[in-house]
Homo-oligomer: A and B are copies of this chain.
Amino acid sequence: MAFLKGSDGVSGGVVSFSEEQEALVLRSWAIMKKDSANIGHCFFLKIFEVVPSATQLFPFLRNSEVPLEKNAKLKTHAINVFIMTCEAAAQLRKAGKVTLRDTTLKRLGATHLKNGVGDAHFEVARFALLETIKEAVPADMWSPAMKSAWGEAFDQMVAAIKQEMCY
Contacts and interface: CB of A to CB of B under 8 A. Distances in A.
Copy number of this protein in the oligomer?
2
A117 to B, nearest CB: 11
B53 A124 contact: no
A50 interface: yes
Contacts of A127: 49-51
Interface residues of A, number: 13
Contacts of A123: 50-53
Contacts of A120: 51, 53-54, 118, 120-121, 124
Contacts of A121: 120
Interface of A: 49-54, 118-121, 123-124, 127
